[in-house]
């Protein structure tokens, strides 16, 4: 995920006038990366039943199979954005990872973009680079995770069940076979990390505001249709959240996400060179990436049994 662009920034007219990016600051991104790696290690250890407070020496050995693939997925996603930002001479920071005392140990990562994007080509390239990169490394993590997962009887006790997207359900059927009534997959931490990577892809590809999907939809549809789509999407998420609370369809997590999206707003700053057309290849890339959003969308990401 990336923070919003600054619509008040100016960009000189000619390519030769583009100033070199300022020198990067490494200390804070590095510290946050280390803290997030540790918090995901603790979360991963907890997933295997290890109490990190009672057995701190086992945190790395127990949590690495979750933390390492998850951090690699997030890092790949963010550096996809970063490298294409540099390619288009956009002033972007290094990734800031966000540790969190949660089930997965992180709120993800962000990149700050301190200058506007010049044209729709940059919107497509930068908007698709992160989700595609994260998507391509999440799938192997899911597949490897299924190789180490087990089919177990469905427990009678309450617990959290991961929701299925079209893609995840298809991969589960291919690698785990048809489950019988009363059976479920006890997913390996590597596979759980891959599931999170696919879910992060979904969240970022929502075609709203200045999310990655918002950049892509703005480039493909134009400013007016992009805003109309955003205005329609927000109440849809609210309805899915309310239906999730009623245990009908969706999940209450979409209410939380709707509040966040409502805070950032549906608007997208205009590009400097709106007259520059997209090539056929970039149009195909943009629509293909939005198709990935449909493949990875999970109506009810976390379900309570």
| Residue 8 forms part of a structural domain | no
Q: Please determine, for residue 4, whether its predicted confidence score (pLDDT) is greater than 50.
A: no
Q: What is the predicted pLDDT for the residue at 10?
A: 35
Between the CA atoms of 250, 251, 252 and 256, what dihedral angle is there, to the nearest 10 degrees? Answer: -90
Q: Please determine, for residue 269, whether its predicted confidence score (pLDDT) is greater than 80.
A: yes
Q: What is the predicted pLDDT for the residue at 158?
A: 65
| Residue 9 forms part of a structural domain | no
Q: How confident is the model at residue 9 (pLDDT cuts 50, 70, 90)?
A: very low
Mean pLDDT of 177-194: 91
| Residue 17 forms part of a structural domain | no
Q: Which residue has the tokens 């993590």?
A: 141
| Residue 3 forms part of a structural domain | no
Q: What is the predicted pLDDT for the residue at 14?
A: 39
Q: What is the predicted pLDDT for the residue at 159?
A: 67
Q: What is the predicted pLDDT for the residue at 157?
A: 58
Q: What is the predicted pLDDT for the residue at 248?
A: 87
Q: Please determine, for residue 20, whether its predicted confidence score (pLDDT) is greater than 60.
A: no
Crossing angle for the helix pair 166-176 and 189-204, nearest 10 degrees?
160
Contact (CB, 8 A) for 243 and 249: yes
Q: Please determine, for residue 175, whether its predicted confidence score (pLDDT) is greater than 50.
A: yes
Q: Which residue has the tokens 């939380």?
A: 256
Contact (CB, 8 A) for 213 and 204: yes
| Residue 4 forms part of a structural domain | no
Q: What is the predicted pLDDT for the residue at 13?
A: 38
| Residue 235 forms part of a structural domain | yes
- Dmax (CA) for the chain in angstroms is 66
Q: What is the predicted pLDDT for the residue at 282?
A: 96
Mean pLDDT of 95-124: 92
Q: For the chain, what is the HEC assignment?
A: CECCCCCCCCCCCCHHHCCCCCCCCCHHHHHHHHHHHHHHHHHHHHHCCCCCCCCHHHHHHHHHHHHHHHHHHHHHHHHHHHHHHHHCCCCECCCEEEECCCCCCEEEEEECECCCCCCHHHHHHHHHHHHHHHHHHHHHHHHHHHHHCEEEECCCCCCEEECCCHHHHHHHHHHHCCCCCCEEEECCHHHHHHHHHHHHHHHHCCCCCCCHHHHHHHHHHCHHHHHHHHHHHHHHHHHHHHHHHCCCCCCCHHHHHHHHHHHHCCCCCCCCCCCCCCCHHHHHHHHHHHHHHHHHCCCCCEEEC
What is the per-residue pLDDT across 50-99, written as a single tens digit (0 to 9) for each? 988 889 899 999 999 999 999 999 999 999 999 999 999 999 999 999 99
- The domain tally of the chain equals 1
pTM above 0.95, yes or no: no
Contact (CB, 8 A) for 2 and 81: yes
- Ramachandran region, residue 199 (left: φ > 0; alpha: ψ -120 to 50; beta: rest): alpha
Mean pLDDT of 212-217: 96
| Residue 109 forms part of a structural domain | yes
Q: Can you give the residue range of the structural domain that contains 164?
A: 22-304
Crossing angle for the helix pair 253-264 and 223-245, nearest 10 degrees?
150
| Residue 2 forms part of a structural domain | no
């Amino acid at each position: 995920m990336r923070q919003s662009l600054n619509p008040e920034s100016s960009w000189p007219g000619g390519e030769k006038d583009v100033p070199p990016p300022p020198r990067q600051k490494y200390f804070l991104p590095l510290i946050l990366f280390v803290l997030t790696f540790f918090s995901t290690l603790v979360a991963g250890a907890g997933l295997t039943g290890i109490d990190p407070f009672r057995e701190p020496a086992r945190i790395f050995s127990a949590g690495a199979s979750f933390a390492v693939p998850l951090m690699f997925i997030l890092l790949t996603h963010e550096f996809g954005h970063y490298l294409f930002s540099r390619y288009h001479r956009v002033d972007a920071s290094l990734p800031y990872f966000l540790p969190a005392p949660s089930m997965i140990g992180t709120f993800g990562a962000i990149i700050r973009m301190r200058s506007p994007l010049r044209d729709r080509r940059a919107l497509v390239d930068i908007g698709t680079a992160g989700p595609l990169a994260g998507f391509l490394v999440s799938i192997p993590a899911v597949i490897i995770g299924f190789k180490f997962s087990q089919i177990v009887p469905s427990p009678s006790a309450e617990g959290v069940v991961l929701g299925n997207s079209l893609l995840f359900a298809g991969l589960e059927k291919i690698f785990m076979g048809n489950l019988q009534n009363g059976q479920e997959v006890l997913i390996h931490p590597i596979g759980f990390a891959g599931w999170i990577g696919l879910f992060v892809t979904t969240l970022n590809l929502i075609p709203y505001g200045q999310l990655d999907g918002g950049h892509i939809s703005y480039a493909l549809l134009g400013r007016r249709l992009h805003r109309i789509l955003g205005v329609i999407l927000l109440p849809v998420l609210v309805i899915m959240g309310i239906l999730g609370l009623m245990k009908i369809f969706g999940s209450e997590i979409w209410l939380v996400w709707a509040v966040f999206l409502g805070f950032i707003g549906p608007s997208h700053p205009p590009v400097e060179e709106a007259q520059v057309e997209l090539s056929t290849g970039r149009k195909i890339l943009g629509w293909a990436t939005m198709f990935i959003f449909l493949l990875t969308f999970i109506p009810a990401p976390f379900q309570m049994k």
